[in-house]
Chain A
Amino acid sequence: MADTILLFAGLLILLSIVLSVLRLVLGPTMVDRVVAIDTLTVISLSLVALYAHLSGRFVYLDVALVYGLLSFLAVLALARFLEKGR
């Protein structure tokens, strides 16, 4: 039962990656692309967490934490760039 749920979670992550990349490519404005990148980051975080559970090496959760904090900084810098326009 648990394996089925984990497999389903993996498939959902795959689907959401495809949809986010689609938005990244199609995105008519710059803001759409930034949001798509941020969504991709969150999806990657969930993938890392899933892999940490599957492999049983919980040091990957720290990787996910650092990645989440740094992606916040990246989105912040991009938002600043969009606001100032330089």
Chain B
Amino acid sequence: MNTVIFRTLAPFLTALMLLFSVFVLLRGHNEPGGGFIGGLIAASALAIYGIGRGIQPVRQALWFHPMTIAAFGLLLACVAGLVSMVAAVPFMTGLWIYPSLFGVEVPLSTVMLFDLGVYLVVVGAITSIALALEREDI
């Protein structure tokens, strides 16, 4: 879309939506939200950027190929399951650690790692589909 207003607005809107997607992802453990809906919001943000600026800027902004991101997310989800093997508990048992960061206790868990994996899989797959649909030569 070749309008000045939208081309100027698109990066700001994309940044806002990506920030909100991370917020939804991290809130997802206790309240509505989570990896899937967060990933969908991030993919929509990248789609808006793609409509505004074109495919090539999106590929440059992503740095990695979208399918690479999806595969890395799958790896993270698998690792979240396999950690329970080290602790000798059933597969995908939620394990928690509470490291202290700058005097603030940060609860980390394998559940969150799994959610992060889901987020990356959804971002990678949906962005890959959106970029393929955006291509001119099909």
Contact = CB atoms under 8 A, between A and B. Distances in A.
Interface residues of B, number: 15
Interface of A is mostly: helix
Nearest to B1: A80
Contacts of B1: 76, 79-80, 83
Nearest to B52: A76
A62 interface: yes
A73 B47 contact: yes
Contact of B44 (A59, A63, A65, A70): A70
B48 A76 contact: yes
Nearest to A69: B17
A52 to B, nearest CB: 12
Interface in A63-86: 63, 65-66, 69-70, 72-73, 76-77, 79-80, 83
Interface centre among A63, A72, A73 (most CB of B within 10 A): A73
A65 B48 contact: no
Given A66-B37, A80-B51, A83-B1, A73 B32 contact: no
A31 B6 CA distance: 19
A63 B32 CA distance: 9
B18 to A, nearest CB: 11
Contact of B20 (A59, A65, A72, A77): A65
Given A65-B20, A79-B1, A59 B32 contact: yes
In the A-B complex, the 3 residue pairs with the closest CB atoms: A73-B44, A59-B32, A69-B17
Given A69-B41, A73-B47, 13 more contacts: A62-B24, A62-B32, A66-B20, A66-B24, A69-B44, A70-B41, A72-B13, A72-B48, A73-B48, A76-B48, A76-B51, A77-B51, A83-B1
Interface of A: 59, 62-63, 65-66, 69-70, 72-73, 76-77, 79-80, 83
11 contacts: A59-B32, A62-B32, A63-B32, A66-B37, A69-B13, A70-B41, A70-B44, A72-B48, A76-B6, A80-B51, A83-B1
